[in-house]
């Protein structure tokens, strides 16, 4: 019985981890293209981790493997890859439906953008601290 439960749980967790990993990978790809990160010589990996953690705090769902959170990871990934979609208008319409309304899509985009700005500010602040101490 325990083995069956373990196998069932594993079968549920693998796709869940894949959704979060796909979101993390998409955010990392976005951060590697971000001009400010290059200009300030920040780590795209640290920035991506910060953005994922920060956006996750404001996503639906109570915990990382909550079905609502997993759906949010998929929706955020789709939102971030909108510009590379073969049919952006159709994808945008799908996103509006996936998020529940245009307002909720706008809130998700604002969550991502605010998280990105907060993380950029925090990492720039961290990178400047040693130079202040030297003076």
Percent of the chain at pLDDT exceeding 70: 82
12-30: per-residue pLDDT in tens? 444 556 888 999 999 999 9
Burial 66-93 (b: 16+ CB within 10 A, else e): eeebbbbbebbbbbbeeeeeeeeeebbe
Q: Domain limits of the chain?
A: 15-134
Burial 1-36 (b: 16+ CB within 10 A, else e): eeeeeeeeeeeeeeebeebbebbbebbbebbeebee
What is the predicted pLDDT for the residue at 51? 97
94-129: per-residue pLDDT in tens? 999 999 999 999 999 999 999 999 999 999 998 877
Strands annotated E in the chain: none
What is the predicted pLDDT for the residue at 6? 44
What's this model's pTM, rounded to 2 decimal places?
A: 0.82
Average pLDDT over residues 48-75: 91
């Amino acid at each position: 019985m325990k083995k069956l439960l373990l196998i069932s749980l594993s079968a549920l967790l693998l796709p869940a981890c894949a959704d979060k990993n796909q979101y993390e990978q998409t955010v990392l790809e976005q951060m590697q293209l971000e001009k400010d990160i290059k200009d300030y010589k920040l780590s795209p990996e640290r920035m991506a981790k910060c953005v994922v953690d920060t956006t996750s705090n404001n996503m639906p769902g109570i915990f990382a493997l909550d079905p609502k959170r997993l759906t949010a990871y998929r929706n955020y990934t789709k939102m971030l890859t909108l510009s590379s979609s073969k049919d952006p208008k159709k994808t945008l319409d799908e996103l509006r439906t996936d998020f529940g309304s245009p307002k909720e899509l706008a809130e998700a985009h604002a969550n991502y953008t605010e998280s990105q700005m907060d993380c950029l500010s925090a990492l720039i602040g961290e990178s400047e601290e040693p130079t202040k101490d030297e003076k």
